[in-house]
């Protein structure tokens, strides 16, 4: 499976964006904190070195000039060195921050001309032959005009090797915790969107499904309120269209009945026979119009149905009526639906296959979370440009408008409506070897867990 970037899932996009932003903020904060820590550590070191040199300078300032250079022998372990600075007026590379700290620590009794802090560079070239050390020094002038160079050298402990494994482990823990928090944050943000999706799916399956709960934050309440208003408008539109269609087809029954009675008084037998056929066709059209109106209603509540047994019984009925139908599929295939609606839908598909293709070959198989029913025939098929139109009401491929050859054009529309009301889909496909294949997908029945 190939990974697309950016990801198609909004949840993954938000998760990666949130996690990346938090990790970036953590790294920037960590970098600034380390930089500030390094600055503070250097400041403390410079201040400590300046205080030590200032203590020695206060001691030297109280001595006569001729005794100052000899005082170095009294200092501990030869770490200190004092040399005359006369004749050494060449510039000394100074460290401004250390010089400022030394001036503050020495006070007005000693004039600090320059201060420096260096590291033994020889250890970088021959680390095995020398001990790392740090040197701090200053060039000062006492009140009597004597100028000296004073330096202190201190050996440093061996540098610690960075423990990259520990750093990676701590970083992984931090990233894992941030990922958990980011994922829960994304779920919290997308939860109203999932509720809206579930409400839309439920409304598509059952127009009488309860309205969406209008609680939560302001934006969520506004979205839920807008969805509920749209839901009510759609319901009103569907109910109004159903009522109009039902009223028209119902009102047409009365004049059709009068026409049938008046035809009995017609003495011209050929004319009466032709008119009777027209009235019968109109009556059938009215009946199917009523069926189409009823197919748009939600109908009775669904129940558990064995789809395999239903299809097998329909094939047996077709064979008993003189048609040719075969069924192949598992012994048990449970779905949730309305038996009469499913029987009417599949019977229409099987009748079409037998009528236009001579036979019906029905198969049932599991396809993911759906049961897939295939109704195949060996007829002429349907032109590709008309595959999507034949399920529209009153559309017929046969242009003579004869019921015997083209029907009323409502059978597939009724079947599609009845299947769609139960969460199913109907699609038509031409077979490569010839003939038409009707594919019906219905959700697999899932038992709801009991609650105690």
The CATH number assigned to the domain holding 398 equals 3.30.565.10
- CA distances to 278, 391, 410, 416, 427 from 406, in Å: 15, 14, 11, 18, 20
Q: Is residue 333 part of a domain?
A: yes
Chosen domain end from 155, 172, 206: 155
Q: What is the pLDDT of residue 36?
A: 86
Is 382 strand, coil or helix? coil
In this structure, the answer to whether residues 338 and 432 fall within a common structural domain is yes
Q: Are 323 and 352 in contact, with CB atoms under 8 Å apart? A: no
Residue 69 has pLDDT above 50, yes or no: yes
- CA contacts within 13 A on the Cβ side of 129: 5
Q: Is residue 270 part of a domain?
A: no
Mean pLDDT value of segment 168-185? 80
Q: Are 283 and 263 in contact, with CB atoms under 8 Å apart? A: no
- CA distances to 6, 10, 380 from 2, in Å: 12, 17, 40
Which ranges in 159-217 belong to alpha helices (H)?
A: 164-205
In this structure, the answer to whether residues 114 and 177 fall within a common structural domain is no
Q: Are 148 and 65 in contact, with CB atoms under 8 Å apart? A: no
- CA-based nearest residue to 353, from 392, 384, 388, 314: 314
- CA-based nearest residue to 445, from 366, 336, 306: 336
Q: Is residue 269 part of a domain?
A: no
Distance CA 128, CA 315 (A): 94
**Between 444 and 14, the higher pLDDT residue:** 444
**Phi–psi pair at 305, nearest 5 degrees:** -130, 140
Round the average pLDDT of the chain to a whole number and report it: 77
Residue with tokens 């000062």: 140
In this structure, the answer to whether residues 169 and 146 fall within a common structural domain is no
Residue 86 has pLDDT above 60, yes or no: yes
In this structure, the answer to whether residues 227 and 130 fall within a common structural domain is no
Residue 274 has pLDDT above 60, yes or no: yes
Q: What is the pLDDT of residue 403?
A: 45
Q: Are 105 and 97 in contact, with CB atoms under 8 Å apart? A: no
In this structure, the answer to whether residues 305 and 438 fall within a common structural domain is yes
In this structure, the answer to whether residues 15 and 151 fall within a common structural domain is yes
Residue 333 has pLDDT above 80, yes or no: yes
Mean pLDDT value of segment 197-215? 76
**Between 120 and 271, the higher pLDDT residue:** 271
In this structure, the answer to whether residues 137 and 198 fall within a common structural domain is no
In this structure, the answer to whether residues 150 and 230 fall within a common structural domain is no
Residue 92 has pLDDT above 80, yes or no: no
Task: Kindly report the number of other CB atoms within 10 A of residue 410's CB atom.
Answer: 23
Mean pLDDT value of segment 269-280? 78
Q: 396, exposed or middle or buried, with CB in 10 Å at 0-12, 13-18, 19+?
A: middle
Query: 327: pLDDT confidence band, cut at 50, 70 and 90?
Result: very high
Is 324 strand, coil or helix? coil
In this structure, the answer to whether residues 346 and 229 fall within a common structural domain is no
Range of the domain at 241: 164-246
Residue 282: partners with Cβ closer than 8 Å, 6 or more residues away: 252, 256
Q: Are 356 and 380 in contact, with CB atoms under 8 Å apart? A: yes
Mean pLDDT value of segment 301-316? 87
Mean pLDDT value of segment 386-409? 61
Residue 354 has pLDDT above 80, yes or no: yes
Q: What is the pLDDT of residue 221?
A: 82
Q: Is residue 331 part of a domain?
A: yes
Q: Is residue 426 part of a domain?
A: yes
Whether cis (ω within 30° of 0) applies to the bond prior to 6 is yes
Q: What is the pLDDT of residue 130?
A: 56
Task: Kindly report the number of other CB atoms within 10 A of residue 214's CB atom.
Answer: 14
**Between 158 and 56, the higher pLDDT residue:** 56
Which ranges in 107-163 belong to alpha helices (H)?
A: 122-125
Query: 74: pLDDT confidence band, cut at 50, 70 and 90?
Result: low
Chosen domain end from 97, 127, 155: 155
Query: 374: pLDDT confidence band, cut at 50, 70 and 90?
Result: very high
Q: Go through the chain and tell me how many residues it has.
A: 452
Q: Is residue 289 part of a domain?
A: no
Query: 439: pLDDT confidence band, cut at 50, 70 and 90?
Result: very high
Mean pLDDT value of segment 286-299? 62
Q: What is the pLDDT of residue 362?
A: 92
In this structure, the answer to whether residues 421 and 311 fall within a common structural domain is yes
In this structure, the answer to whether residues 309 and 439 fall within a common structural domain is yes
Distance CA 265, CA 268 (A): 9
The CB-based long-range contact list for 437-440 (8 Å cut-off, 24+ gap) reads: 437/374, 437/375, 437/376, 437/377, 438/349, 438/352, 438/353, 438/374, 438/375, 438/376, 439/372, 439/373, 439/374, 440/345, 440/346, 440/349, 440/372, 440/373, 440/375
Q: What is the pLDDT of residue 394?
A: 63
Q: What is the pLDDT of residue 298?
A: 54
Is 45 strand, coil or helix? helix
Q: Is residue 102 part of a domain?
A: yes
Domain count, the chain: 3
Q: What is the pLDDT of residue 440?
A: 92
Q: What is the pLDDT of residue 157?
A: 60
Q: Are 99 and 115 in contact, with CB atoms under 8 Å apart? A: yes
In this structure, the answer to whether residues 130 and 35 fall within a common structural domain is yes
- CA-based nearest residue to 56, from 105, 119, 108: 105
- CA-based nearest residue to 424, from 442, 412, 437: 442
Chosen domain end from 155, 173, 204: 155
Helices and strands counted in the chain (H then E): 12, 11
Alpha-carbon dihedral sign for residues 339, 340, 342, 348:
positive
Mean pLDDT value of segment 310-338? 88
Q: Is residue 452 part of a domain?
A: no
pTM of structure: 0.47
Mean pLDDT value of segment 425-447? 86
């Amino acid at each position: 499976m190939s990974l697309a970037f950016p990801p198609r899932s909004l949840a993954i996009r938000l998760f990666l964006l949130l996690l990346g932003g938090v990790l970036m903020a953590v790294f920037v904060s960590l970098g600034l904190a380390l930089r500030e820590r390094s600055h503070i550590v250097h400041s403390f070191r410079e201040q400590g070195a300046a205080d030590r040199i200032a203590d020695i300078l206060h001691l030297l300032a109280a001595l006569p000039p001729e005794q100052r250079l000899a005082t170095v022998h009294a200092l501990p372990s030869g770490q200190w060195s004092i040399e005359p600075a006369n004749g050494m007026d060449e510039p000394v590379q100074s460290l401004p921050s250390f010089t400022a700290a030394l001036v503050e620590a020495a006070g007005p009794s000693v004039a600090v001309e320059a201060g420096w802090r260096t590291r033994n560079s020889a250890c970088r070239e021959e680390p095995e032959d020398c001990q790392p050390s740090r040197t701090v020094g200053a060039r000062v002038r006492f009140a009597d005009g004597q100028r000296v160079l004073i330096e202190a050298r201190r050996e440093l402990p061996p540098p610690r090797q960075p423990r990259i494994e520990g750093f990676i482990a701590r970083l992984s823990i931090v990233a894992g915790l941030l990922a958990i928090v980011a994922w829960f944050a994304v779920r919290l943000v997308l939860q109203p969107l999932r509720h809206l999706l579930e409400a839309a799916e439920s409304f598509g399956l059952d127009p009488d499904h309860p309205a969406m709960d209008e609680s939560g934050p302001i934006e969520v309440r506004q979205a839920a309120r807008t969805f509920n208003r749209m839901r009510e408008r759609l319901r009103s539109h569907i109910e109004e269209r159903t009522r109009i269609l039902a009223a028209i087809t119902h009102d047409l029954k009365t004049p059709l009945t009068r026409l049938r009675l008046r035809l009995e008084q017609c003495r011209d037998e050929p004319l009466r026979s032709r008119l009777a056929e027209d009235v019968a066709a109109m009556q059938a059209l009215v009946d199917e119009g009523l069926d189409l109106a009823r197919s748009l209603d939600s109908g009775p509540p669904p129940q558990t149905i064995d789809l395999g047994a239903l299809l097998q019984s329909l094939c047996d009925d077709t064979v008993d009526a003189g048609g040719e139908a075969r069924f192949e599929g598992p012994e048990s295939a449970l779905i949730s639906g309305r038996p009469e609606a499913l029987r009417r839908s599949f019977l229409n598909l099987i009748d079409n296959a037998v009528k236009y293709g001579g036979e019906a070959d029905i198969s049932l198989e599991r396809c993911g979370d759906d049961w897939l029913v295939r109704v195949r025939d060996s007829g002429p098929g349907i032109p590709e440009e008309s595959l999507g139109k034949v399920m529209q009401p009153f559309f017929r491929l046969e242009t003579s408008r004869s019921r015997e050859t083209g029907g009323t054009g409502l059978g597939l529309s009724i079947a599609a409506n009845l299947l769609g009301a139960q969460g199913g889909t109907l699609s038509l496909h031409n077979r490569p070897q010839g003939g038409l294949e009707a594919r019906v997908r219905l959700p697999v029945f899932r038992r709801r867990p009991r609650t105690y």
